Amino acid sequence: MEYTIIDYPNGIKAVLGRIKSPVVHCAITIGTGSADEDKHQYGAAHFIEHLLFKGTKKRKQYHINSLLDNVGGELNAYTTKEETVIHSTSLKSDFTKSIDLICDVVFNSTYDTKEMDKERAVIIDEINSYKDSPSEQIFDDFEDMIFSGTPYGHPILGNKKSLKSIDRVQIQSFISRCYNTDKIIFSTIGNITPDRFRKICDSYFSDIPSNIRTWQREEISLYTPKTVDIEKRGYQSHIMLGTRAYSYLDSKKVQLALLTNLLGGSSPSSILCQELREKRGLTYNTEAAYTSFERGGVFSIYVGCDKENREKCQELIDQITKKLRTEKLSEHNLSRYKRQLIGQVAISADNNESLMLSSARSLLIYNNIDNFEDIASKISSITPSDICSVAEEILAPEQLSKLIYR
């Protein structure tokens, strides 16, 4: 796919991928998230994401939430450790409504104190819902454990104490410091001509005052592996095993992505799924995951199982990871795993919303957009020695932390 990219003097970028479709996907991606919060504002980035839908200078909450809904479209948002994303899906004929609405909530929200108090209670309820779901809570607790003392450690949602202390002044201060124009990407996938796209984007982005980022994310402290056991009520045990991993600036990130996928990706043919679930029936849910950040990353293995199967699952994981560290994959097996990942990337790119979001993230991080051929080439070039080397670094027993909900 060919992209039209517009660079504005204030630092904002707009990118269009043109396709033949009656549907248009668009988003504003802001390069800031929970990792950019000060200690006294934990949860601020996610709080702001909620508040963007609660009123602007020209729209009330109901009008924000109903504008696209009334024409069959959708408006949504999410927050990660390094990004805040507001995105929409609509018919091509409603593209101007989408961009007007997204720009309105990002640049003109009022952050009414009454709405803040209501939404604070909603997020606290969201936090409580995680506590009722140990299979979800353990991921936050694990990242908090291995990134302890760093900006990446605390949960994206924050905590009750920090949320109750965040006021309107702190919200506006965070936006002023972190919603930098050179960290804002407006991305669109749809049947919009480049000329029309440029004309519409000019009217929304060209006059926004420049607010260039003058600070950098701090280096994170050294990592010390830990093992933590926590007693939990429930029928299952939950196990997280993992370590810090490569940043998205590290060339080995693609190799680790392949290792993660073959070990415990979404496919039922992954090693963990085959060995723990299909062959032995020890677990319903097991997976491996890798997430990269600017200042590092996190690799993890998760298993939820009956308490009586906990020790056996841990033994098998140890055996599997040791084999990956000490024995090279055959060329035949590695070729199969590479074809699998390349296929998954291609299918993901066939999802226009996913493509729209990934193109914005790529432009934000790398200042370019990788095409499918480049990604496939990087995956294809990985050797058995590469996988073994990365496994030795990431899966070394002395580097692994463990969190267990008994």
The domain in which residue 247 lies consists of 227-405
Say what the pLDDT of residue 90 is: 98
**Per the domain annotation, does 329 fall within a domain?**
yes
Do 240 and 327 share a domain, yes or no?
yes
Do 371 and 319 share a domain, yes or no?
yes
Do 15 and 77 share a domain, yes or no?
yes
Residue 71 sits in a domain whose CATH number is 3.30.830.10
**What's the predicted TM-score (pTM) here?**
0.94
Do 170 and 261 share a domain, yes or no?
no
**Per the domain annotation, does 214 fall within a domain?**
no
> Domain total for the chain?
2
pLDDT at 130 over 90: no
Do 180 and 294 share a domain, yes or no?
no
Question: Considering only 115-119, 297-301, 370-374, 396-400, which range has the smallest mean pLDDT?
Answer: 370-374
pLDDT, tens digit (0-9, with 9 covering 90-100), for 11-59: 999 999 999 999 999 999 999 999 999 988 999 999 999 999 999 999 9
In order of 4, 188, 373, the CA distances from 1 in angstroms are 10, 13, 11
In order of 15, 249, 255, 263, 272, the CA distances from 28 in angstroms are 10, 23, 30, 34, 37
Say what the pLDDT of residue 132 is: 86
pLDDT (average), residues 162-184: 96
Structure tokens at 48: 């702001």
Say what the pLDDT of residue 233 is: 83
Pairing mode of beta strands 13-18, 184-190: parallel
Structure tokens at 162: 């920090």
Say what the pLDDT of residue 83 is: 98
Domain boundary among 170, 205, 240: 205
Do 118 and 88 share a domain, yes or no?
yes
Do 282 and 363 share a domain, yes or no?
yes
